[in-house]
Homo-oligomer: A and B are copies of this chain.
């Protein structure tokens, strides 16, 4: 089940970039946002509507709409779970389910909370659609296959040599951007990582890997210890505030003890299944572009007027990939 990934298709970007830093020192120091705003249209990559998952919560206390938009990960990452998620959305599985868990500085989790059948005395779960895959744990990683007889330059078995080649080690492996996403790497593998807003697949104890019916998102400091232990399938690109500002659950792990606190999910649909005109449309900044490198450098070395001491580096989760909403077709 391992996917091939051509190394040539990946951006290799140092999280700190001293060369760029020296260049910009001579001129003005635009903020990271100003750099992104000045990016040419050709550096923005359109997201396919079929790669969006749109969750509508029941209206808020003031009757306001609450829509959360998720971008699903591209190949070769987590595709087994993503196929399941597409099937679950097509089957309207999540309609009528709920947000069941809000744990401070950790995650918000949603799915079928179950129904306590008073006749049987049992908690009954909604039936899953047919044909969901059981995805193996090996799919938490994507193996890299060297091309053209060269050995991978993403092998971080020797951290010092990595540093030379422009990658940056952190406590969790080597961090880099590729295909529009923050990634971890090491031992000829790549994996998606848990930054703020990452969407993952809830599971039981190993060897269970979860079906995708139970999802969560990160609402606190990046819990990177979950990397390679749970499938990451996407990231929230709009509306995370409707999840991150929910009252924290008082039960164990932040589950709502009082079922009336659960937030109803009206529907979850793939972006191309929405009956809306225009459909929601988004773009992300090409992580292989020069503008992205300049943006990442500015995040690592803040020189806009507020700052007096540039950090000289940045945690990969402190360099969110810029995303913007565009007018649909």
Contact = CB atoms under 8 A, between A and B. Distances in A.
B315 A224 contact: yes
A244 B26 CA distance: 40
A43 interface: no
B137 A225 contact: no
A2 interface: no
A195 B102 CA distance: 20
A224 B318 contact: yes
Contacts of A247: 241, 245
A196 interface: yes
Nearest to A163: B159
B170 A171 contact: yes
Contacts of A300: 171, 225
Contacts of A39: none
A269 interface: no
A229 to B, nearest CB: 5
**Chain A interface, DSSP helix/strand/loop, else mixed:** loop
Contacts of A170: 170-171, 313, 315
B229 A308 contact: yes
Interface string A169-199: 0111000000000000000000000011100
Given A171-B168, A221-B220, A247-B245, A308 B104 contact: no
B224 A172 contact: no
A159 to B, nearest CB: 10
Copies of this protein in the complex: 2
A246 B245 contact: yes
Contacts of A196: 105, 220-221
A143 B245 CA distance: 39
A222 interface: yes
A244 to B, nearest CB: 6
Contacts of A140: 309
Contacts of A315: 170-172, 221-222, 224, 315
A63 to B, nearest CB: 14
Contact of A229 (B241, B299, B309): B309
Contacts of A227: 311
A125 interface: no
A69 B108 CA distance: 24
Interface in A298-314: 299-300, 302, 305-314
Contacts of A46: none
A43 B67 CA distance: 47
Interface in A204-222: 205-206, 220-222
Contacts of A307: 225, 229
A291 B192 CA distance: 32
Interface of A: 15-16, 102, 104-105, 137, 140, 168, 170-172, 195-197, 205-206, 220-225, 227-229, 240-241, 244-248, 299-300, 302, 305-315, 317-318
Given A220-B220, A225-B302, A229-B309, 5 more contacts: A172-B311, A172-B312, A221-B315, A222-B315, A228-B308
